[in-house]
């Protein structure tokens, strides 16, 4: 099952108990669909960039909650009952793209060897650059000087 984040922006005057009940309701739905809630974070009150207009007025602050869960992809369509929730200002579901879950997650070594695939210093043998000595450079310059005498321009006279 894929990993999703459900962001809930709740009205600023909603109590903690009401927010916990709202999160529990979403979590209960996830458990009914054989999903798992892996993390719940509260970011507290946040200032909004613009006022969100609701029936009880404009709101310039909100309480932000984040729920991380593993649920089937069809679960996101079931969350539309949140549109009718009067305690919410906005809600959003975002899918994690590069999430590791299932047996790969269990066998992962917690990132201890994450950087082992990268070498600390590059060696000269890693690149396909041919190094040339000073002799070959002088040979190159002298040959190009000789070649330049062969070509003459129209307006140039011989000396």
List 67's β-bridge partners, or say none: 6, 40
Query: How much is the pLDDT for 40?
Result: 94
| Residue 131 belongs to a domain | no
List 63's β-bridge partners, or say none: 10, 45
Torsion angle, CA of 80/83/88/91, rounded to 10 degrees?
50
| Residue 67 belongs to a domain | yes
Domain count along the chain: 1
| Residue 41 belongs to a domain | yes
| Residue 134 belongs to a domain | no
Distance CA 56, CA 138 (A): 84
Query: How much is the pLDDT for 8?
Result: 95
| Residue 18 belongs to a domain | yes
- How many CB atoms are located within 10 Å of the residue 4 CB? 23
Query: How much is the pLDDT for 38?
Result: 93
Query: How much is the pLDDT for 28?
Result: 94
Domain span including residue 59: 3-107
Distance CA 158, CA 112 (A): 73
Query: How much is the pLDDT for 97?
Result: 84
- Identify the CATH number of the domain in which residue 86 sits: 3.30.70.60
For residue 82 the two structure tokens come to 């949140």
Query: How much is the pLDDT for 98?
Result: 76
pTM here? 0.60
List 57's β-bridge partners, or say none: 54
| Residue 124 belongs to a domain | no
From first to last of its 159 residues, the chain has per-residue pLDDT tens of: 889 999 999 999 999 999 999 999 999 999 999 999 999 999 999 999 999 999 999 999 999 999 999 999 889 888 999 999 999 999 999 998 876 665 555 565 555 555 555 555 555 555 555 555 555 555 555 555 555 555 556 665 555
């Amino acid at each position: 099952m894929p990993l999703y984040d459900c962001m809930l922006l709740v009205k600023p005057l909603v109590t903690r108990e009401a927010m916990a009940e709202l999160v529990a309701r979403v979590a209960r739905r996830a458990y009914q669909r054989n999903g798992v809630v892996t993390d719940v974070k509260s970011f507290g009150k946040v200032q909004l960039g613009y006022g969100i207009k609701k029936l009880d007025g404009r709101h310039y602050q909100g309480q932000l909650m984040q729920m991380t869960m593993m649920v089937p992809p069809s679960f996101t369509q079931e969350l539309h009952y949140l549109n009718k929730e009067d305690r919410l200002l906005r809600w959003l579901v975002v899918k994690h793209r590069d999430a590791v879950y299932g047996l790969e997650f269990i066998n992962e070594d917690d990132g201890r060897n994450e950087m082992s695939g990268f070498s600390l210093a590059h060696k000269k043998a890693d690149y396909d650059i041919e190094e040339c000595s000073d002799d070959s450079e002088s040979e190159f310059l002298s040959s190009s000087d000789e070649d330049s005498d062969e070509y003459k321009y129209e307006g140039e006279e011989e000396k």
